[in-house]
Amino acid sequence: MDLSYGADYKAFRDAVRRFVKTHRHKAPKGDGPRSPKVLDWQKLLIENGYAARTIPRAYGGFGAKPDILLSRIIAEEFAAAQVSQGIGGQGIAMLVPTLLEVGTEAQKQQFIRPTIYGEMVWCQGYSEPNAGSDLASLRTSAVLDGDEWVVNGHKIWTSTAHLADWIFCLVRTEPEAPKHQGISFLLFRMDSPGIDVRPLVDMTGIANFNEVFFADVRVPKQQIVGARGEGWKVANAILGHERDALGDPNLTLSRLNALTKLMQTETIDGRRVLDHPVYRDRLMKIQARVMAMRFNDMRVLSARINGQDAGLARLIVKLQGTELRHELEQLGIDAMGELGLAYGKNPHLRDHGNWQSHYMFYLGLIIGGGTSQIQKNIIGERGLGLPREPKPQTPLKR
Amino acid sequence: MDFGLSEEQSLFQDSLDAYLGDRVGLERVRRIAAGKEDPQALRRELVEFGLSGLLIAERHGGVGLAPMDAAVAAECLGHHVTPAPFLGSSVVAPLALTLAGGQTERLQQLAAGELTIGLAFAEAVGARADAGLVAKGGKLSGKSLYVLDYGAEEYLAADAERRLYLVAAAAVAHQPLATVDRTRTVGELVFQETPATLLSEDPDCLHTLIDTAWVMLAADTLGAAQNMLDQAVAYAKEREQFNRPIGSFQAVKHLCAEMAAQLEPCRALVWYAAHALSAAPDEAHLVACHAKAHLAEVGAFVARTATEVHGGMGFTDLLGLHYWFKRIGFNRQALGTPELVREEAARAQNLAA
């Protein structure tokens, strides 16, 4: 067991800390995409190597060698100071790594720089009403007509589609091929004629998701990533990143601290909630699980650094991380009793109502990004080697 | 940075696992559990392997390893439901005697496997009715229930002031107690102005011993639970119903996945807790609390669920799965139930009075 980051890393951490302290007043707080504050902050982060750190300079990044520990230190320090780590979203998190992996030189030149600087906002067109857990059965089609793909179909759960400039989209281009081999990965503008975006209000009351309808949307032929029919492989090259990000134990730890504080301030009959033994016991139960997930995260990180696959320790993160977070938020609500119901305009609101909104939001994450049930299939089959369910005797109709 | 077992620890784990694999089959567990074989032979085999001197300095005849290595051993012993004493003579007593100082001879005897020491301080975590020891003029009176590693030649005992003593088994009245877990020996000691050697007046000494014991019990549960999960998965792959392996049904597959999902983070928690005992003393107590309590919870879940995956066979004596089930149950109750230990975790952070 060697848990030290080493002397070089300590110097780096000190530098990050100094940067955060000096510049934190410039950091955006809840400003919308493309606002000057967000764009300026992103530029400052990239120039200093705290965002787009390993993206090559040729594409506008900082161009550092990949070093998992350095990236971790940056994330830890910004999170600890509660300062924005720059622009997130699916363009930066998912499309850019995909393009770096399989994009053409022209695509890298065209898309990476504006994306990492926040000037080009993306949405992800994967799920469809009839292609959820069984994503590979998606039916949105693209047919080549001269030099253009003609796209028709219907996507759902498309986060930020109403804000996006572009979409990266899975479409079926080879209808006769087996389902995983008939998919291609296209990029196109969201202001193309024939696109209709309809907001989908979720249970938190926010319309972050959308349904997106395509009617004869024309896309230049070269805006395909990877070869025709290889879209499933292209998309899967980076799906693991999303799953890892959904159960971040460091975020959970900061919520645990907020929960402890809440239970020290809220009272029942003049007595702190924390002083009620049953509530306190629930807090301690949650704390143990948060602790276990943090050490599990260190184990996964250490395996990555040493070029090993952490196996089950990695496969369980999305399932355990999101379930744990949902339960943590629930204890926050329970600690407030009736006050825990406050939502929206209510003078008794605590912490801007975020206990209720996170409680619901994390139920969304239990379902999204591969449901808990799909996660259990993955753990059972890939992690434990249990047999897959036999295929039905007669193929079900598409 | 390297979070996990070192290369030496992995080798140690593999060789102990193989050693136990050769010697502690289910048949021998059954014989010892039924009182048809004296567990002393197995104890001596563990001494031969070197487990008795694990934590004892080389100058006293031991190998001078760290608590993390002992946790690796505890996990292996739990994995094989090893019916032999370990916690008292190999872990807690060496630590107690080293902390107390001036106990060279006993440490040498422990390392050589010539002395066995049991643990009579369950009351320091939570005393049940009629139990507990008081000291007067250096002599102990009262009762210690649920003594661990019963049958030893000496016992570590604690009084109400949390002072730590060593007493000879011959100086107290004692009787064995039957429990559900026949892979461990438990008994009751009755003190009547019994002379005892004071080892430490500092309550922190006792607390360190309890933390260490908690981590070892957690590691034992980790090993036992992992084995139950492995057995459940193997059974689910092999057992067929409706013309398919039952593990291909999601109802069964998801039970296995849920066990793995809960158990896997426990491994990191136990490793860290064991590491902290010697390397991060400021964190050691809290992490030890959580390791003990959390492994008790996850252990109970895995013990129950793995049994269920085996269907009716899981409930029988034939399969022997119940030895692991009961071992995990023992580790949960011994030296503090999860509720008591979590309350201590809260106190340790000033979150409880």
pLDDT in tens, B135-188: 999 899 999 999 999 999 999 999 999 999 999 999 999 999 999 999 999 999
Are B256 and B333 in a shared domain? yes
Q: How close is the nearest chain B Cα to the Cα of A8, in Å?
A: 13
Which domain CATH number covers A202? 2.40.110.10
Contacts of A253 in chain B (CB under 8 A): none
Are B104 and B17 in a shared domain? yes
Residues in chain A with pLDDT values less than 50: 243
**What are the tokens at B276?**
């902290």
Are B221 and B340 in a shared domain? yes
Are B190 and B219 in a shared domain? no
The answer to whether position B265 is within a domain reads yes
The answer to whether position A213 is within a domain reads yes
Are B189 and B214 in a shared domain? no
ipTM of predicted complex: 0.96
Are B134 and B254 in a shared domain? no
Find, in chain B, the residue whose alpha carbon is nearest to that of A378.
B257
With cut-offs at 50, 70 and 90, classify the pLDDT of residue B35: very high
Are A267 and A371 in a shared domain? yes
Are A222 and A338 in a shared domain? no
Contacts of B269 in chain A (CB under 8 A): 288, 291-292, 295-296
Are A217 and A244 in a shared domain? no
Pairwise CA distance, residues A301 & A82, whole Å = 22
The answer to whether position A187 is within a domain reads yes
How many domains does the structure of chain A reveal?
Answer: 3
B261 contact partners, CB below 8 Å, separation of at least 6: A316, A319, A320, A375, A376, A379
Of B174, B201, B228, the one marking the end of a domain is B201
Find, in chain B, the residue whose alpha carbon is nearest to that of A381.
B253
Of A34, A63, A87, the one marking the end of a domain is A87
Are A332 and A211 in a shared domain? no
Note whether B236 contacts A386, CB cutoff 8 Å. Answer: yes
Verify whether residue A47 is a known catalytic residue: no
Are A275 and A376 in a shared domain? yes
Pairwise CA distance, residues A6 & A3, whole Å = 9
Are B175 and B235 in a shared domain? no
- Domain span including residue A157: 122-231
The answer to whether position B1 is within a domain reads no
Note whether A387 contacts B68, CB cutoff 8 Å. Answer: no
Note whether B290 contacts A291, CB cutoff 8 Å. Answer: yes
Q: Residue A187: which H helix or E strand, with range?
A: strand A183-189
Nearest neighbour of A384 by CB, restricted to B233, B249, B287: B233
Estimate the crossing angle of helix B104-112 against helix B93-100, to 10 degrees: 160
Are B61 and B146 in a shared domain? no
Are A213 and A257 in a shared domain? no
Pairwise CA distance, residues A371 & B308, whole Å = 25
A160: three-class secondary structure by DSSP: coil
The answer to whether position B353 is within a domain reads no
Report the greatest alpha carbon distance in chain B: 73
Look up residue A295 and give its DSSP letter. H
Q: Residue A220: which H helix or E strand, with range?
A: strand A209-220
Are B131 and B165 in a shared domain? yes
Of B185, B201, B217, the one marking the end of a domain is B201
Candidates A10, A287, A389: best to mutate against B (most CBs of B within 10 A) is: A287
The answer to whether position B66 is within a domain reads yes
- Please give the average per-residue pLDDT across B203-231, as a whole number: 98
How many domains does the structure of chain B reveal?
Answer: 3
Are B290 and B329 in a shared domain? yes
Of B160, B181, B201, the one marking the end of a domain is B201
The answer to whether position B2 is within a domain reads no
Note whether B345 contacts A285, CB cutoff 8 Å. Answer: no
First-to-final CA distance of chain B: 38
Note whether A380 contacts B253, CB cutoff 8 Å. Answer: yes
Q: Write down the residue that tokens 């964190």 correspond to.
A: B283
Find, in chain B, the residue whose alpha carbon is nearest to that of A306.
B2
The answer to whether position B97 is within a domain reads yes
Q: Which of A115-119, A307-311, B53-57, B207-211 has the lowest mean pLDDT?
A: A307-311
Look up residue A390 and give its DSSP letter. P
The answer to whether position B50 is within a domain reads yes
With cut-offs at 50, 70 and 90, classify the pLDDT of residue B288: very high
Torsion sign across C-alpha atoms B35, B37, B43, B46 = negative
Q: In this predicted model, what pLDDT tens digit does every residue of B224-280 receive, in sequence order?
A: 999 999 999 999 999 999 999 999 999 999 999 999 999 999 999 999 999 999 999
Catalytic residue among A119, A211, A242, A327: A242
Are A48 and A129 in a shared domain? no
Note whether A1 contacts B266, CB cutoff 8 Å. Answer: no
- Domain span including residue B93: 7-115
Contacts of B268 in chain A (CB under 8 A): 292, 295-296, 298-299, 313
Contacts of A307 in chain B (CB under 8 A): none
Contacts of A381 in chain B (CB under 8 A): 253
